[in-house]
Chain A
């Protein structure tokens, strides 16, 4: 594989893959935050 093809493939797949993965992770993190919200501490009687 020539260097130009290699470089462009790495840029597109590498950077694209990184952005896509982190975007999916941000969505999952948002979902986790909604599924497991912080509960207010119970006041002791």
Chain B
């Protein structure tokens, strides 16, 4: 009987013993706490970092079976990440939440959204130079889309082993946009440029144009880059529902209930990919560093495109709005407004920056779609 009691008590200490054996799990539990701290105390993307942090803790508790064959997070992972369903459902919600009127009022700001995607391709080159495989480099480059669901979609498809690192990098840097962007904006512009006052956007956009926008973009984008149609189609479906105004129940469900439930599941799944033995590698640190470089390059290229537009328009464009040509919506636009008003109290760049930011939102999806179609064209993916 004594043996049975000792064995029984031994069963309660196995987890502790395992924790001592593999230090990487302990480190990852601490990482989980850091993510929770960032989400709860620092308000950095809490909707994602809280479930990611908790998922990370759950999966690193020794003998945890949440990601085993019949574990509950494995079931969610197989249902929503392997099938790419979760990021696509999030996209329907994003489309339902986004007002594309600023970019429709000034279609030229689409080009700023294009320039903001340069970081993707330059980072891809850097990743290749650092020895990553071609598809891994694609997944790392996509952090530069500054767009969590796009990064998750592409990574889960082509480099699922990098999903944790890429997702954490994408969402962390997105929330750090207000810290990362301003120094780059100041470095690349002169005081005179930063002080440029842009005329207010007075052009109204008709409801018909707003309804036609998602339809035309879906067809056009789908014809040019069919591999990205799921990404483009879902964001535009959400936007079409929003703009028609006749399916408000579906629109509200997409931007609230569906997006909330999927965000919770998505976060848990991403966190659960952060197992110590797979995550604690020099490779992860390199990916985080490359993600940072990607967002810096996006900002720099956006501002440089803004400078080109300033020259082309004879000084009417404030180059700062180029920094908003990324997908972090509407955070990047707010950063531009804050930075612009810091240098000239009369400067009101918000609406222009919102146009560039909405362009960046479409731009990141288009960049991913083009990338997938180019990969398919080269025969690297099917």
**Which residues of A does B touch, CB under 8 Å?**
1, 3-4, 6-11, 13-15, 17-19, 21-30, 32-33, 35-39
A22–B205 contact, CB under 8 A?
Answer: no
A26 to B201, CA, bound (A): 16
A29–B110 contact, CB under 8 A?
Answer: yes
Which A residues lie within 8 Å of B105 (CB)? Answer: 33
A36–B363 contact, CB under 8 A?
Answer: no
Question: Known: A15-B121, A26-B107. Is A36-B212 also a contact (CB below 8 A)?
Answer: yes
Which parts of B367-381 form the interface with A (CB within 8 Å)?
Answer: 367, 370-371, 373-375, 377-378, 380
Partner of B363, one of A4, A22, A37, A39: A22
B127, closest chain A residue (CB): A7
A-B contact pairs, 5 of them (CB 8 A): A10-B124, A21-B221, A25-B362, A25-B366, A33-B104
A12, chain B: closest CB distance, angstroms: 9
A28–B216 contact, CB under 8 A?
Answer: yes
Contact residues of B: prevailing secondary structure: helix
B224, closest chain A residue (CB): A21
A3, chain B: closest CB distance, angstroms: 5
A3 to B221, CA, bound (A): 28
A15, chain B: closest CB distance, angstroms: 5
| B208 adjacent to chain A (CB < 8 Å) | yes
A22–B113 contact, CB under 8 A?
Answer: yes
Which A residues lie within 8 Å of B284 (CB)? Answer: none
Which B residues lie within 8 Å of A23 (CB)? Answer: 110-111, 114
A4, closest chain B residue (CB): B128
Partner of A22, one of B111, B120, B125: B111
Question: Known: A17-B370, A30-B107. Is A22-B206 also a contact (CB below 8 A)?
Answer: no
B114, chain A: closest CB distance, angstroms: 4
| B217 adjacent to chain A (CB < 8 Å) | yes
**Which residues of B does A touch, CB under 8 Å?**
103-105, 107-108, 110-111, 113-115, 117-118, 120-122, 124-125, 128-129, 134, 137-138, 203-206, 208-209, 212-213, 216-217, 220-221, 224-225, 359, 362-363, 366-367, 370-371, 373-375, 377-378, 380
A25–B371 contact, CB under 8 A?
Answer: no
B213–A32 contact, CB under 8 A?
Answer: yes
A38–B206 contact, CB under 8 A?
Answer: yes
Which A residues lie within 8 Å of B367 (CB)? Answer: 14-15, 18
B207, chain A: closest CB distance, angstroms: 8
A1 to B91, CA, bound (A): 33
B206–A36 contact, CB under 8 A?
Answer: yes
A26 to B362, CA, bound (A): 11
B378–A11 contact, CB under 8 A?
Answer: no
Partner of A21, one of B138, B366, B377: B366
Question: Known: A6-B134, A14-B367. Is A19-B125 also a contact (CB below 8 A)?
Answer: no
Partner of A3, one of B115, B120, B134, B209: B134
A6 to B134, CA, bound (A): 8
Question: Known: A15-B117, A23-B110. Is A32-B212 also a contact (CB below 8 A)?
Answer: yes
B318, chain A: closest CB distance, angstroms: 19
A4, chain B: closest CB distance, angstroms: 8
Question: Known: A17-B374, A18-B366, A22-B359. Is A38-B204 also a contact (CB below 8 A)?
Answer: yes
Question: Known: A32-B213, A33-B104, A38-B206. Is A18-B370 also a contact (CB below 8 A)?
Answer: yes
